Structure 1
Amino acid sequence: MKLKFTHLFMAGAVCVIASAFVIDNIKPKTHRKFIDPANMNKAVKPGDDFFEYANGTWIKTHEIPAKQTRWGAFIILNQENTDRVLAILKDVSKTSSGLPKGSVKQRVGDLYASGMDTVAIEKIGYDPIKPDLERIGRIQTTDDVVAEAIYERSRGIASPLFSFGVSADSKHPNVNIAGFGQGGTTLADRDYYLKNDQRTVKIQNAYKQYIVNLFSLTGSNTNQAVKNADIIFGIETRLAKAQLSRTELRDPNKTYNKLSVIDFKKLTPHFNWVKLMVDMKAPGQDSVLVAEPDFFKTEDDLVGSVTINEWKIYLAWNVLKDNATELSSPFVRATFDFSSVVSGQKVQTPRTERISSSVDRNLPDLLGQLYVEKYFKPAAKTYMVNLVNNLKTVLGERIKRLDWMSPETKAHALKKLAAFSVKIGYADKWQVYEGLTINRNDYFGNLRRLDEWRYNYNVSQLGKPVDKKRFNMSPPTVNANYSPNKNEITFPAGILQYPFFDFDADDAINYGGIGAVIGHEMTHGFDDQGRQYDSDGSLHNWWTKDDADKFKKRADMVVKQYDAFTVNDTVHLNGKLTLGENLADLGGINIAYEAFKKTKQGHSNQKIDGFTPDQRFFLSFAQVWRSKQRPEFAAQRVLTDPHSPENYRAYAPLTNMDAWYTAFNVKPGDKLYKKPEDRIKIW
């Protein structure tokens, strides 16, 4: 689950139970309506549109704020989180200049203060990138083009041509290896270059105008800026044609290609990787992973066929667009003008919130320390540990009962489940950012130093064991994830907040919320991608062919179900792109429901606010996905987001659960009704 939102959790003093299956009192501990009928549209039958039934009045009566592209449960949490993070930053930045250099509060406070020093930022305009543009202007040969691309990447300046990083080798998950991937384009998906429908052409034109605007701000005349836009779009279109689609990228075996550095050099003659790996601060490597070899062959052909002058324009563009939001306001406005065409956002996010996000993104372990000290309580971590263990037990029981899987494959699945590691709240050991200097009067310099520090830290991991203790999200983040190479699930502190979790809520609310999230992440270990990794995190087939075929048959049913859904009433979802998340939603809600039924409330029929325990469970799940979004943003997500839209996430998995039909008396003739034999059951 990758939602890219942040939020903080504030918990009062509570008594944590020994087991999340048992509670002392069925009723909520407060009079708060965790399921508020005022948000529902009871004029709609649950079996006709469960999302509308659960959230309809809220959707009708709430508008999307101008600074947002969508509005709902997640974004509301995000806004609360932003407010709390801002409170921390504003308080710390008042005194950080007088604190010891290198201390947590000094670096956090001074980074925020430097970003808010708009007088200094406006005064210097685009001076910070002039040396980069001048250096590019001196390029004379093809070797210079390649050298500049490598220089920009290894200094944190820009990321032209391709992606590069150090991470675990998928087939040897305890070993770090250097890896290369496709890149070089700006628009969010290759289809934005290759399609010619009305919306796509509108985005293409806006993108070209964005290029014109940024070059004009650096002194190019309009005619030259327009020519630059055509050159850049042409190069990026050729790169896009060579890229794998997002659906193809979901195949971990297709993108696992280990090449010797010598063979990689032979594949791309214009790139002397033996020398370039030294320039990239990653010397001494025998082999590298190349996710898309054909892309690099095409890129090499481009390096030889595109003129030097055109490459200089392309490289200058990468510096411009990768740094525009860090420069003076004309550059920031030009960037927003373009992004608003794509997303539909009406007004720019306030600078305070943008800089707050920058601090969280750049110094997560420093800001995270201040956050958990104020907002995260150990009791929440204890509760989550118990809840995770209980859901692991339930998933294990469900695996044992599968009627489509052989005992041999079941044994491997149970071994993998038992090997799951769990990270909750925040890292056991904080990153200290050794050697990183933050200057209160140099925002651009701070970000450049941060970019270079991160790059240097990443490549420094070559030759070292994979750090499996590392926390991969900042503590305030409202998200959770599963890492196949580490076989681990992670729940940052930020997600432990209503509507996912509340100490005062009854179990139906928490199991329908955070319980379904936990089950979701566990199921990722067994979705169409995760199932290809073994218990130790290695990319290894542990399935019998017959079991794999049976799994695929069931997964294809999920693809078909979601392919039928549309966005903006015209564009169909890509069931293959969203398959992993859809499988995780289906597995997660089933696991959470079975775990809920083991609680005292799960055994009862006692109503709260007019709803039975089962109804509260399913309504809790549905209200987590309460959301409305701008049509532009919705259209973009169909191309780029592996998650289905929230309205479908709220009910599509439930149509495959017998218990949901019983809870809401869903019958033949209802629009969402599926015959029992058509209901999809996997995990």
Structure 2
Amino acid sequence: MERPGRGGGTANEDNKQQERSLRRDDAHQQYVFSSLRVFALMLRSVFAVLAIASATASAASFDIRGMDRSVRPGDDFYLYANGQWDRDTVIPAGAPFVFGTVNARRTSIERLGSIVDELAADPASRAGALYRSFMDEARLDALGLGPAGPMLRALTGLRSKEAVAEAMGRYGNLGVSTFLAGTVDDDDRRPGHRALHWTSDGLGMGDRAYYQPGTADAAKVAQAYQAYARQLLARAGVPDAPRLAAEVLAFERQLAAPNSPEGGTPVYDKVSLRDMERRMPGVPWHTVTRAFGWPEGRAMLIDEPEVLAVRAAAFRKASVETLRAYLIVRFLDAYAPYLSHDVADLAFAFDQGVLKGVTAPKPRKERGADLIRRFIPDDVESIYAARYFSAAARAEVKALTRHVRDAFARRLANVTWMDDATRKRALGKLDNVIIEVGYPDTWRAYKGLRFEDDDLFGNVVRGEAWQHEWNVAQLDVPVDRHEWRCLYPSTVNACSDDTRLALFLPAGFLQAPTFDPDADPAQNYGRLGETVGHELTHQFDRAGSTFNEDGLRAPWWPAAVRERFLAREDALVKQYDAYEAAPGMRVDGKRTLGENTADLGGLNIAYDAYRAALDGKEPPVVDGFTGDQRFFLSFAQNNHGKYTADGLRHVLLTNEHAPGHQRTFEVRNVDAWYRAFDVEPGDRLYLPPSERVRIW
């Protein structure tokens, strides 16, 4: 599960947060995504929304036809479970990869589309007005850059660093990603309270890996980004665009120089405005905070102190001309999708084509629905939840999650690397985790937010401004742990929140193949049960373990316990470092460690929960497969996916998840898998019991 950085905005299935800062498609967030660590199931689903073409698997939860029984399970369990699916599946034109959740995503998209069609036909509908403004392509092309003119002229008129700093704050409030970024989010040392946060953002290429020299891929992307920046500056009428584009890239390389602490270890650095001015001189901090609309005299948290210090130094050294060009590029990149096709196509070619390997945009109707969910998601999500997720299904999922939680508790009670005191606190923390199923119990009204049929650009500006004002207004509002701030109810995904000790399972996620009320328990536990277990373990991994049973950022593992945990993880790093996803392209065991650890824990926990749910009875053999075999096959099929070369390269370079093929290899660390499929020495995946990684 990925861990994007802070930033008020909307939860977005396509995860524009990743695209713009990713720290990580068409929008950034609104269920105040900010400080939470979202563990989205990216490789199973995030970009699968692009894959709207037909997949060969049926809607049933278990796909026997997708297997390749000519492969020995112990040689390559992924191909045994998915080999025929892999051969038959065609990656849709324009998509970088396709996943088994494609049918679920298609269903969610179609359901949302029908809701949006109803709202679009209503002249009085706020959502309908926003949608109609987006769909009027002829008007957008006729207007060209005109709607952006006033904001562009304000940027080209900047003549001092004081003015640049004020613009960074003001434009940041309107959805423009800059390196001086801030938001309101939970105070990790004061559970239930919020604080002002300085965050890391503002990189045009998104991931810092692209700014580091040494790889041909990074150099290729950097060259393309410089060309993109040059084109945007030229469209804005900025003289000497080629030189300034090169300066923007060089400036961003300075911004990207530092890295976050290894393993995502959280940092808590609370400062006053005077502290900021003393530690990072040369930046008009007071001007920026005033532009953010932050109340004066309040302490602030710096999420990545070293990063912000380097960025402040880059600001001091840069010329006003360079900073001005940087802001123009960031502004046009943010608003390009809401301007004429010539500008929007430029942004798509880089943001999606170069960075993601996507060659064709999603249908405009889908992007119109995404825009509604960007600003007023509950206007459509409340209808989706009432129409497509029954109370009976909600109750059944809640029962499954209870079994999984109980199974994890039993494992926690017996882990040998914890001492008794740590184990007791771990069990207490698990008891405090809440699991939200389907949808929120309350919906937001977005009071005062209005949209016009004929003003798309203005609608986006108003939507961003409303979100920012709402975000700042939450500063003194007590935290609601049940708030859905990371995903929409219709999203085919799941997330976990460290600070609020909460796990979210949206209605869109709780459909076949992940969950099917008509499927046999082995399949539901192998898919949804593994996901729930995976998410729960994130509360106890390298980052999650730095939050105690109350959600307070306060490391509570003794040094000896942590060392034993890290030693077991190191063995998993070595396993994954040895996997080659394609010739010359290896998995990075350290980058993917958090997700690999959670996959392993989730699989063991879900298996225990499945066996406990059977209450001592042996399940029937179905289609020649035992219950245990169906459980592990369901897990493997939950990971199936197919990539283009560029899509795979992007995933390996930037993502915290291993490709699905390699994620499936977690089975080689699970004793029950060996028994289920008679895996023996000589099989390629076989590991002696002493070499199997055992964490949870």
Alignment of 1:78-227 (within 5 A): 78-95=105-122, 97=123, 99=124, 106-154=125-173, 156-220=174-238, 224-227=240-243
Q: Secondary structure at the match of 1:482?
A: strand
Query: CA offset at residue 433 of structure 1?
Result: 0.9
Q: Tell me, in whole angstroms, the C-alpha distance in 1 between the residues paired with 2:120 and 2:554.
A: 49
Change (3 A) 1:280 1:6: closer
Alignment of 1:330-369 (within 5 A): 330-338=342-350, 339-369=352-382
Change (3 A) 1:259 1:123: same
Q: Number of matched residues?
A: 644
Query: CA offset at residue 278 of structure 1?
Result: 2.8
Of 494-503 and 81-90, more deviation after overlay is shown by: 81-90
- Give percent identity, aligned residues only: 33
Structure 2: which amino acid aligns with 1:431?
Answer: R
Change (3 A) 1:647 1:237: same
Q: Tell me, in whole angstroms, the C-alpha distance in 2 between the residues paired with 1:124 and 1:198.
A: 39
| Contact 2:245-2:325 within 8 A present in 1 as well | no
Q: Which of 297, 300, 317 is the equivalent residue of 1:305?
A: 317
Equivalent position of 1:321 in the other structure? 333
Alignment of 1:572-583 (within 5 A): 572-583=586-597
Change (3 A) 1:272 1:141: closer
Whether 1:405 aligns to 2:425 is: no
Query: CA offset at residue 524 of structure 1?
Result: 0.9
Query: CA offset at residue 150 of structure 1?
Result: 1.4
Q: Secondary structure at the match of 2:475?
A: coil
| Contact 1:6-1:78 within 8 A present in 2 as well | no
Q: Tell me, in whole angstroms, the C-alpha distance in 1 between the residues paired with 2:2 and 2:561.
A: 29
Whether 1:646 aligns to 2:673 is: no
Q: Tell me, in whole angstroms, the C-alpha distance in 1 between the residues paired with 2:318 and 2:242.
A: 18
Equivalent position of 1:485 in the other structure? 499
Query: CA offset at residue 249 of structure 1?
Result: 6.6
Q: Tell me, in whole angstroms, the C-alpha distance in 2 between the residues paired with 1:610 and 1:34.
A: 16
Equivalent position of 1:557 in the other structure? 571
Equivalent position of 1:370 in the other structure? 383
| Contact 1:6-1:494 within 8 A present in 2 as well | no
Change (3 A) 1:216 1:273: closer
Query: CA offset at residue 5 of structure 1?
Result: 4.3
Whether 1:283 aligns to 2:301 is: no
Query: What's the CA shift string for 1:619-659, capped at 9, x where partnerless?
Result: 11111111101121221122321122111112x22111111
Change (3 A) 1:218 1:602: farther
Change (3 A) 1:355 1:591: same
In the alignment, structure 1 segments of 5+ residues that lack a partner are 8-30, 100-105
Structure 1: which amino acid aligns with 2:347?
Answer: T
Q: Secondary structure at the match of 2:613?
A: coil
Equivalent position of 1:474 in the other structure? 488
Q: Secondary structure at the match of 1:134?
A: helix
| Contact 1:47-1:670 within 8 A present in 2 as well | yes
Whether 1:40 aligns to 2:67 is: yes
| Contact 2:233-2:328 within 8 A present in 1 as well | no
Query: What's the CA shift string for 1:230-268, capped at 9, x where partnerless?
Result: 111111111111x324x637011xx32111221012122
| Contact 1:44-1:52 within 8 A present in 2 as well | yes
Query: CA offset at residue 290 of structure 1?
Result: 1.0
Equivalent position of 2:307 in the other structure? 295
Q: Secondary structure at the match of 2:114?
A: helix
| Contact 2:628-2:676 within 8 A present in 1 as well | yes
Query: What's the CA shift string for 1:142-172, capped at 9, x where partnerless?
Result: 2111111112112x15122233111111122
Q: Tell me, in whole angstroms, the C-alpha distance in 1 between the residues paired with 2:88 and 2:551.
A: 47
Of 328-337 and 51-60, more deviation after overlay is shown by: 328-337
Change (3 A) 1:274 1:225: closer
Change (3 A) 1:679 1:428: same
Whether 1:238 aligns to 2:254 is: yes
Q: Secondary structure at the match of 1:541?
A: coil
Q: Which of 76, 91, 102 is the equivalent residue of 1:75?
A: 102
Q: Tell me, in whole angstroms, the C-alpha distance in 2 between the residues paired with 1:219 and 1:260.
A: 40
Q: Which of 397, 404, 413 is the equivalent residue of 1:391?
A: 404
Query: CA offset at residue 197 of structure 1?
Result: 2.3
Query: CA offset at residue 76 of structure 1?
Result: 3.4
Q: Tell me, in whole angstroms, the C-alpha distance in 1 between the residues paired with 2:305 and 2:599.
A: 33
Query: What's the CA shift string for 1:274-315, capped at 9, x where partnerless?
Result: 453233111134311112223333333333322222222111
| Contact 2:133-2:456 within 8 A present in 1 as well | yes
Structure 2: which amino acid aligns with 1:441?
Answer: D
Q: Secondary structure at the match of 2:256?
A: helix
Query: What's the CA shift string for 1:435-478, capped at 9, x where partnerless?
Result: 11122222221111111111111111112322323112211011
Equivalent position of 1:436 in the other structure? 449
Change (3 A) 1:228 1:399: same
Q: Secondary structure at the match of 2:98?
A: strand
Q: Tell me, in whole angstroms, the C-alpha distance in 2 between the residues paired with 1:600 and 1:157.
A: 50
How large is the Cα RMSD of the aligned pairs? Answer: 2.0
Query: CA offset at residue 6 of structure 1?
Result: 7.7
Query: What's the CA shift string for 1:7-59, capped at 9, x where partnerless?
Result: 9xxxxxxxxxxxxxxxxxxxxxxx98643332111111111111111001111
In the alignment, structure 2 segments of 5+ residues that lack a partner are 4-11, 16-57
| Contact 1:596-1:602 within 8 A present in 2 as well | no
Structure 1: which amino acid aligns with 2:585?
Answer: V
Of 73-82 and 162-171, more deviation after overlay is shown by: 73-82
Q: Tell me, in whole angstroms, the C-alpha distance in 2 between the residues paired with 1:579 and 1:51.
A: 20
Structure 2: which amino acid aligns with 1:445?
Answer: G
Whether 1:229 aligns to 2:245 is: yes
Query: CA offset at residue 543 of structure 1?
Result: 1.9
Equivalent position of 1:24 in the other structure? none
Structure 2: which amino acid aligns with 1:526?
Answer: F
Query: What's the CA shift string for 1:176-227, capped at 9, x where partnerless?
Result: 1111122332102122122242222221221122122223333457xx2222
Structure (1 or 2) with the larger CA radius of gyration: 1
Normalising by structure 1, we get a TM-score of: 0.91
Q: Tell me, in whole angstroms, the C-alpha distance in 2 between the residues paired with 1:47 and 1:450.
A: 53
Q: Tell me, in whole angstroms, the C-alpha distance in 2 between the residues paired with 1:176 and 1:87.
A: 38
Equivalent position of 2:33 in the other structure? none
| Contact 2:375-2:467 within 8 A present in 1 as well | no
Structure 1: which amino acid aligns with 2:197?
Answer: G
Q: Tell me, in whole angstroms, the C-alpha distance in 1 between the residues paired with 2:297 and 2:645.
A: 47
